[in-house]
Amino acid sequence: MRGNPMNPAPRAVSTTPPPKAKAEPAAPVRTTASRFVKPKVLMGEVTAPRGQQIAAERDAVRAFMLAHRLQPSVWAAKAGVPAGELLAFLSGHARTLPPQSAAKLAAAANATEDQMFGR
């Protein structure tokens, strides 16, 4: 029974449906199968010839790491190089690796710098 039993008129009942819950936004569509973030292209690498050379060296180092099954942080620790230095180069935040670091990384991987940079 709705309303007050002493009052013969029933209480008004709302006929409007309750508000619907907002739908959650759909997950963004993945464009690649990789779970890793794609490095951004720096503006200097788009326009300058030296930038294209730096990008080629960065890609060569990535290919070298894949071929030798190296992880950046483990490889840097083995070489005695700050991991941030190598990661900054690979992610595009640093344009080059310092020559001392490159020599240490190559020695830790039992390779030459030329092999590491794909020269």
Domains of the chain: 43-116 (1.10.260)
Question: Which amino acid makes up residue 55?
Answer: A
Higher pLDDT, 68 or 28: 68
Higher pLDDT, 77 or 32: 77
For residues 46, 50, 54 and 55, what is the CA-based torsion angle, rounded to 10 degrees?
A: 30
Q: What number of residues does the chain have?
A: 119
Q: What is the mean pLDDT of residues 21-32?
A: 73
pLDDT in tens, 33-83: 777 766 666 655 555 667 778 888 888 999 998 888 988 889 999 989 998
Closest CA to 62 of 81, 75, 48: 75
Higher pLDDT, 102 or 38: 102
Closest CA to 97 of 9, 108, 14: 108
